[in-house]
Structures are given as structure tokens and as C-alpha cells.
Amino acid sequence: MRIVIDYDLCEANAVCCRKAPEVFRLDANDNLHLKIENPDESLRPKLEAAVLGCPKRAIKLVEG
């Protein structure tokens, strides 16, 4: 599984960072970063919560 962020949509509100802090990080300039691009399957529940929680629908999980 791979995480794809649409940075044009992201409004840096940190919802995903709260749902899955292992994966998402906002820097001091409010730019979103991925700590891991190909997360372990064990993180899937947290990632799905981040996808659903993102108010901008900016996060996608791509299989494979």
C-alpha cells in the first residue's frame, strides 16, 4: 500500500497527523510530510481513519 497526498487540496489542518502520527507530520511552516510512503499493513486502520477524516479528501491509499 502506498499513500498519495494531493498537496493542492491539503489545507494543513493536521487531522491526519492526529489520526496517524506515525505517518503524517506538519512542519513549522504548515507543510505536510509523509514519514513513511509505504506503510506496514498494521497501520491500515489508522490510515483509513485519516482518509475518512480528511475534510479536503486529499489522502488516497493506493494498493500494491
**Residue 13 lies near ligand SF4 (rule: CB under 6 A):** yes
**Judged by CB under 6 A, which of 15, 20, 23, 47 binds ligand SF4?**
15
The residue among 4 and 41 lying less far from ligand SF4, judged by its C-beta, is 4
What is the end-to-end Cα distance of the chain in Å, rounded? 5
User: How far is 34 from 23, CA to CA, in rounded Å?
Assistant: 6
Number of residues that bind ligand SF4 (CB under 6 A): 14
User: What count of residues does the chain have?
Assistant: 64
**Residue 59 lies near ligand SF4 (rule: CB under 6 A):** yes
